[in-house]
A and B are shown apart, each in its own frame.
Chain A
Amino acid sequence: MFFEVELQRDVKINATNLDKPVSRRFILACLLDNLFKEKASEDHGYFLAVTRLKSIGKGNVMDESGNTVFTVVFTCRTFKPFPGEELQGVVRYISQHGVLLKCGPIRNAFLSAWKMSKYQYIPGKKPAFLNNELSKIEKGVVVCFLVLAVRWINASRDFEMLASVDADSLGPVSLPGSDELEL
Chain B
Amino acid sequence: MMSGEEEENAAELKIGEEFLKAKCLMNCEVALILEHKYEQLQQMSDDPMNQVSQVFEKSLQYVKRFSRYKNPDAVRQVREILSRYQLAEFELCVLGNLCPETVEEAIAMVPSIKTKGRAHDDDAIERMLNDLSLIKKFE
User: Which residues of A are interface residues toward B (Cβ below 8 A)?
Assistant: 1-6, 36, 39-40, 42-43, 46-49, 77, 79-80, 82-86, 88, 90, 102-105, 142, 144, 147, 149-152, 167-169, 175, 177-182
Contact = CB atoms under 8 A, between A and B. Distances in A.
Contact of B37 (A49, A86, A105, A144): A49
Nearest to A51: B33
Given A48-B56, A49-B33, A85-B94, A3 B108 contact: no
Interface footprint category on B: 35 or more
Nearest to A90: B65
A92 B12 CA distance: 30
Contacts of A152: 3-4
A182 B39 CA distance: 12
A39 B55 contact: yes
B94 A4 contact: no
Contact of B34 (A43, A48, A88): A48
Given A83-B8, A84-B14, 8 more contacts: A1-B93, A4-B22, A47-B55, A77-B33, A82-B10, A90-B65, A167-B108, A179-B61
A39 to B, nearest CB: 6
A49 B4 CA distance: 24
Contacts of A80: 19
22 contacts: A2-B27, A2-B63, A3-B19, A3-B25, A4-B24, A36-B53, A48-B30, A48-B55, A79-B55, A83-B9, A86-B94, A102-B58, A149-B2, A149-B3, A150-B2, A152-B4, A168-B105, A175-B66, A177-B64, A179-B65, A180-B61, A181-B64
Contacts of B105: 168-169
Interface class of chain B by DSSP: helix
Contacts of A84: 8-12, 14
Contacts, number: 124
Contacts of A42: 3-4
Interface string B20-64: 001111110110011001000000000000000111111111111
Contact of B54 (A105, A169, A178): A105
Contacts of B10: 1, 82-85, 147
Q: Name the 5 nearest CB pairs between A and B, nearest first.
A: A84-B11, A84-B10, A104-B62, A85-B10, A82-B10
B3 A2 contact: no
B24 A1 contact: yes
A177 B11 CA distance: 29
A45 B27 CA distance: 16
A117 to B, nearest CB: 17
A88 B27 CA distance: 11
A150 B65 contact: no
A60 to B, nearest CB: 26
Contacts of B19: 3, 5, 80, 82
